[in-house]
Amino acid sequence: MLSHTSLYILDMALMGMGVYALIAKRHIIKKIIGVVTMEYAINLFLILVGYRAGGIAPIEDAQISAADLAARAVDPLPQALVLTSIVIGLGTLALMASLAIKLYEKYKTFDMSEINRLRG
């Protein structure tokens, strides 16, 4: 059963957990947790796509030359782009958390449906 697409499917199940939390939960922090879980799953998926079986990290040293890297290393391009994405994820998390804190200060609750009812 350890086939090679089962890793992709497990990763998408993790992403689905995030989608479920984002849609079904009413607590704002739970929604933020859903977004963070989706982010993890997508970053991990891009790295999984770039993985070469038995590959080494794309770093040269005394034993490993550039030609060796081209033959054996994993894909460095998704790694570089995911590095950007992880840091941007931290920025969006800080923005979401500050919005949640402000909403709590105004409405004294984290419940999304309660906030909808109190508006106006």
Partner 1 sequence: MIAIFHVLLFFMIIGSAVAIETKNMLSAVIAVGAVGFGVSLLFLFLGAPDIAITQVIVEILSLIILIRATTFADNRAVERKIDSFATITGLFFLGFFVMATVWAFSDLTPFGEPLMVVSQRYLAGSSAETGAVNVVAGVILDYRAYDTLGEAMVLFTSVLGAFVILRRRGKKPLDEADTEQFGIISD
User: What one-letter code names the amino acid at 24?
Assistant: A
DSSP symbol at 120 = -
Q: How far is the CB of 118 from partner 1 (least distance, A)?
A: 13
| CA separation for the pair 114, 110 (Å, rounded) | 8
Judged by CB under 8 A, the chain residues 62 through 101 that form the site for partner 1 are 66-67, 69-70, 73-77, 79-84, 86-95, 97-101
With H, G, I as helix, E, B as strand and everything else as coil, classify residue 56.
Answer: strand
According to the binding rule CB under 8 A, does residue 119 interact with partner 1? no
According to the binding rule CB under 8 A, does residue 26 interact with partner 1? yes
With H, G, I as helix, E, B as strand and everything else as coil, classify residue 111.
Answer: strand
According to the binding rule CB under 8 A, does residue 51 interact with partner 1? yes
According to the binding rule CB under 8 A, does residue 118 interact with partner 1? no
